[in-house]
Amino acid sequence: MKTLIIILIIIAFLQTTVLPIDLILIILICRSYIRINKSNLYLALVFGLMVSHLSLTTLGIDSLVYILAVELTHLLSKTRLAGNSLLIIPVSLLLILGSHLLSSIFLHLSIYNFPKVLIESLVSLPVFYMLRVWEERFIVRKDIKLRVN
């Protein structure tokens, strides 16, 4: 978890300065699709506030959008279709499109961002696989016990 937080802090700085895509939202969607956990909501709140602060927008709008996206992803990951890993592309497309729509309503920005939304949803597939490998290989869970003879 510490490594993920450090990576998200670095990405938040890169996202607000150099990168034109919302990688924090993509990582939060992918992680909440992999693991249903309350810590995803805390990450969404904290990094939404951080991105709002760094990009000099109204505080709380990005947090609200991120928390809503994480909750919807939690609900979708409980369904039967969650076993298909390619479902992350349409899920992220809808959630990112909704986040851009909410941001455009609250912050009075232009709505025409569909090429950016399409690129972000396609980026979500490699991010999903990287997070899944990370969660399966390097994160130790308490329910797994090693047998020592």
Extents of the domains making up the chain: 2-138
Q: Tens digit of pLDDT for each residue in 73-112?
A: 999 888 887 778 888 899 999 999 988 888 888 877 777 7
Which is higher by pLDDT, 112 or 52?
52
Task: DSSP for 39-104, please give it.
Answer: HHHHHHHHHHHHHHHHTT--TTHHHHHHHHHHHHHHHHHTSGGGG-GGGHHHHHHHHHHHHHHHHH
Global pTM reads 0.87
pLDDT beyond 90 at 14? yes
